[in-house]
Chain A
Amino acid sequence: MLIHKIDNTTFGNEPPTLPQWTGPPHTIVHVQAILFASLAASLLSAFLAILGKQWLNQYASTNMRGSTIERSQNRQRKLDGIVTWYFDYMLESLPLMLQAALLLLGCALSHYLWEISITVASVILGVTSFSVIFYISIVAAGAASENCPYQTPGSRILHYLASLAHTARNRLHGAPPIIGWGLARETTALDLRCVLWILQASLDKTVRLSTLKYLATMTIFADFDPTLVIHCFNALVDCVNVTDYTVVLLQDAEDFAVASALCFFNTASRLLATDPTSSVLVGVRRDYLNVFPARTDFYGHRFYHTMNAIHCLFVRRRERLFMEWSGYQPSTHEHIPFVRGMVDIARAGYRKSQHRKQKVPRWVLRFAFHCLSLDPQPPTPIVADCLSIIAIDLGCDMKGIGVMPPEYRCVCI
């Protein structure tokens, strides 16, 4: 064509014509390229999946003789190798390849059918778009919450990036304590559900005792199910017998009684503070008075003070006058949740009393005074809680008391 343009006599009278493309249309080429990419990705993922299966078989096999220690060492070497060589990332990439192959297939089909029939292509395009949007949604959901069951590698990557950004921001501006508190609250709520499930489902005495002991040391009761109070009460009733107003413990049940009494007190006081009119509390009070009449004497038992405190919660005012704390010197891990429970009772009692005569129950104030009088002084969280009881009685508006641990608390007048 260029020669013809320079000298149009070269080819005579007939102007040269350009040769026509005789292969498939460009659309088909593009579509086929995408389809082959999809096919290759699918095959590669299938190939790697088979290899992965072989690798896992190799990992699971016990191809070594020797003592338990030697076999354990071999197993540990294999596990270390898996971590060192990023085996989990390798296997997690297989679904990603399949997902990419599916996306490519959808794109190729839509592109191809668009040239033939827009209506048919719209269907494929719609389904593909829906799939993409759905996938993005589950990735976002998985990234937003670790509890979301729709976890994907993408959501984990997003979550990791978000936590990195969060850490960087906190380092720049200083972390507000409420974030740590939020996490603690979430973890505690999870723990409480676990505890409730075990108390409902397990009949094993050792498991129940361990669970109760753990519950007895918990200081935060966030969003707990009120029926936990009933289960703690039932656990207590299961190990005591009251005859002629005297409490007798069943054989080998002392630890169980102590732990369940502490749990019952902690949960009941928390419920009293959060929902004083709870029907659960009404029912438990009725059942409690059936088992432990007002004149019941707990003297001589390890849970004497705990039971007296529970008694003060459920009996009339007259009996509370005799509540004495002298000799009460619990261990720190029991004392901290117990004092937290007392703060809850103080808050509930203060709210319940009439205006201008608003007071914390006197037996609770006596408790605070007793704990503050101890020498050596109790640990700081206990002192802070006792001071909080006095502050409530003095009329300070204690925000978050009984819910937040002392380090997250603030006081407003």
Chain B
Amino acid sequence: MKQVSGQVTGVVRTMAVEDYHLLRSKRKAIAALLPFTVWEERGGQPEMLNTFLYAARAWKEQKYLWGRTEQFASPLFFKASDHAILLASPYIPWKLLRHRGDLVRQWAKATSTVPYTEEIGQSVVDTLLQIISEVHQLPPIPFEVWSWLTRLPPLPPVCLGRCNGTYPHAIKAVRELGDIGLLKSYLLLVWAEWDFIFSRGFDEMCDLIREDFSGIWMGYHRKDLIRRLDYMSGWIWG
């Protein structure tokens, strides 16, 4: 079995680097590896999980690798190690999940045990944005989890959470927390040169900037937002 997994690792890594069309064609097979990689990681062998993540991050489309991976959500969130939960959770199709409340709670629990790294930060923020964009009736997410937004981890060019995180209800969910720092971090994260903002989400953003960031005490925050917008407009217009 080690020989097979070793060869699979080699093929997937080569595919991710050299042949995107092949990677696209084999995305379901790569997604089918997820359970095996998670169990291997639990057994102290993270190589396969790293390979899976390597291939999944090379995926350039704003959709899930394979919708079928939703079947693995329960085993993942209840039986995998906390590290694996956080790293693999962005690749679970949250939109298709049942019993999301329990899964979100398990995921939130995992975030409290794993120390922050850039890789973990990216995964957590990506997942959090996916959850708030897909899950309409949000289960209570601890404030500590929301605070991961303020660490502003650099999100990759293709990030499903950032892409879908600008739905109006997602913006509302962050706004309802009533924390201006968190709201600013959220905006700084979702304003990126690689994604567009949904038109209804854009209107919602305009409203929140007008209402929440007005006033003399908000100057510092406005400066950060303007700096970000300047950077983006500079990137867009050359």
Contacts and interface: CB of A to CB of B under 8 A. Distances in A.
B7 A396 contact: yes
Contacts of A388: 4
B79 A375 contact: yes
Contact of A370 (B15, B29, B71): B71
B12 interface: yes
Interface string B1-17: 10111011011100100
B72 A390 contact: no
A103 interface: no
B68 interface: yes
Contacts of A387: 1, 4-5, 8, 36
Nearest to B39: A377
Nearest to A380: B1
Interface residues of B, number: 28
Given A362-B28, A373-B35, A409-B4, A394 B71 contact: no
B33 A406 contact: no
Contacts of B4: 384, 387-388, 391, 396, 409, 411
Given A387-B1, A387-B8, A394 B26 contact: yes
B75 interface: yes
The interface centre, meaning the residue of A365, A368, A372, A374 with most chain B CB atoms within 10 A of its CB, is A372
A269 B68 CA distance: 25
Contacts of B10: 413
Contacts of A372: 32-33, 35-36, 39
A391 B8 contact: yes
Contact of B11 (A368, A386, A396): A396
Given A360-B29, A366-B68, A372-B35, A394 B12 contact: yes
A365 B32 contact: yes
A384 B5 CA distance: 9
Given A365-B28, A370-B71, A406-B1, A390 B33 contact: yes
B25 interface: yes
A395 B68 CA distance: 21
Interface in A378-413: 380, 383-384, 386-388, 390-391, 393-396, 406, 409-411, 413
Contacts of B28: 362, 365, 393
Interface in B25-47: 25-26, 28-33, 35-36, 39
Interface in B187-234: none
Contacts, number: 79
A375 B39 CA distance: 9
Interface in A115-156: none
Contact of A375 (B15, B32, B69, B75): B75
Nearest to B48: A387
B68 A369 contact: yes
A9 interface: no
Interface of A is mostly: helix
A386 to B, nearest CB: 8
B146 to A, nearest CB: 30
A373 B71 contact: yes
A409 B5 CA distance: 13
Contacts of B33: 372, 390
Contacts of B39: 372, 377
A394 B30 CA distance: 8
B72 A373 contact: yes
B8 A384 contact: no
Contacts of B36: 372, 383, 386-387
A357 interface: yes
A326 B29 contact: no
B72 to A, nearest CB: 5
B11 A373 contact: no
B99 to A, nearest CB: 15
Interface of B: 1, 3-5, 7-8, 10-12, 15, 22, 25-26, 28-33, 35-36, 39, 68-69, 71-72, 75, 79
8 contacts: A372-B32, A372-B36, A373-B35, A384-B1, A390-B32, A393-B32, A394-B29, A411-B4
- Which 9 pairs across A and B sit closest by C-beta, in order of nearness? A393-B29, A372-B35, A369-B32, A384-B1, A373-B35, A375-B75, A411-B7, A373-B72, A372-B36
Interface of A: 326, 357, 359-360, 362, 365-366, 368-370, 372-375, 377, 380, 383-384, 386-388, 390-391, 393-396, 406, 409-411, 413
